[in-house]
């Protein structure tokens, strides 16, 4: 699909929106400050997708995780630009956070299933930190304030949680900074 987009196949553009539109729209709605902002973000994300399609490498992950990476980059940029705007209300955030289930996530992609299994192994408060940060776009400071949790703990939970997901995905990397343990 992405290869066809990269090759300029106009039919692939429509297929791409059929297949990934809901995914991008879902991410944009979660990580935007308003519905109008989500629409603008979605438009920008698809522009990024059209431009980046030629760089998709199936060896590095599924098409869906590639799309999600592109979407997240754009959404994080936009969140930073609008950092002064008030974030979502905590009740709205917490109400909409669902516990990911591996069986459901498996219908999305292998990576989603692996991530759901990793999240299921985390302590509830650690999982909440990842969900608020990654699914709802709250900053670490915002999470700290919302949950009454020290910022250092939020950082630690986020770091360890992502490493746990990375391990479940079997992504191997060299130690950060190349430092000896």
Q: How far apart are CA 142 and CA 6, in angstroms?
A: 39
Segment 36 to 55, residues that bind other proteins, using CB under 8 A = 39, 42-44, 46-48, 50-52, 54-55
Q: How far apart are CA 118 and CA 56, in angstroms?
A: 25
Of the candidate residues 86, 91, 95, 98, the single one contacting other proteins (CB under 8 A):
98
Q: Is 58 in the site for other proteins (CB under 8 A)?
A: no
Of the candidate residues 13, 94, 145, 149, the single one contacting other proteins (CB under 8 A):
13
Q: Is 17 in the site for other proteins (CB under 8 A)?
A: yes
Q: Is 59 in the site for other proteins (CB under 8 A)?
A: no
Alpha carbon distance, N-terminus to C-terminus of the chain: 42
Residue 144 tokens read as: 């700290």
Q: How many residues form the binding site for other proteins (CB under 8 A)?
A: 84
Q: Is 88 in the site for other proteins (CB under 8 A)?
A: no
Q: Is 22 in the site for other proteins (CB under 8 A)?
A: yes
Q: Is 115 in the site for other proteins (CB under 8 A)?
A: yes
| Long-range contacts at 64-68 (CB < 8 A, ≥ 24 apart) | 64/20, 64/23, 64/108, 64/109, 64/111, 64/112, 65/109, 65/111, 66/2, 67/20, 67/23, 67/24, 68/23, 68/27
Residues in the chain: 181
Q: By C-beta, is 13 or 90 nearer to other proteins?
A: 13
Of the candidate residues 1, 65, 94, 149, the single one contacting other proteins (CB under 8 A):
65
Q: Is 145 in the site for other proteins (CB under 8 A)?
A: no
């Amino acid at each position: 699909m992405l290869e066809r987009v990269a090759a300029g196949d106009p039919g692939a553009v429509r297929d791409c929106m059929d297949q990934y539109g809901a995914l991008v729209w879902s991410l944009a709605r979660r990580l935007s400050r308003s519905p109008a902002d989500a629409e603008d973000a979605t438009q920008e994300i698809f522009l990024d997708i059209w431009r980046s399609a030629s760089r998709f490498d199936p060896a590095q992950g599924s098409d869906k995780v590639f799309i999600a990476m592109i979407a997240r980059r754009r959404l994080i940029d936009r969140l930073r630009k609008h950092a002064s705007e008030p974030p979502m209300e905590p009740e709205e955030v917490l109400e909409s956070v669902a516990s990911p289930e591996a069986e459901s996530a498996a219908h999305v992609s292998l990576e989603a299933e692996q991530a759901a299994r990793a999240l299921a192994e985390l302590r509830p408060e650690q999982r909440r930190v990842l969900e608020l940060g990654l699914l709802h776009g709250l900053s670490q400071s915002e999470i700290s304030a919302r949950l009454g949790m020290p910022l250092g703990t939020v950082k630690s939970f986020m770091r360890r949680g992502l490493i746990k997901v990375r391990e479940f995905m079997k992504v191997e990397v060299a130690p950060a900074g190349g430092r000896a343990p």
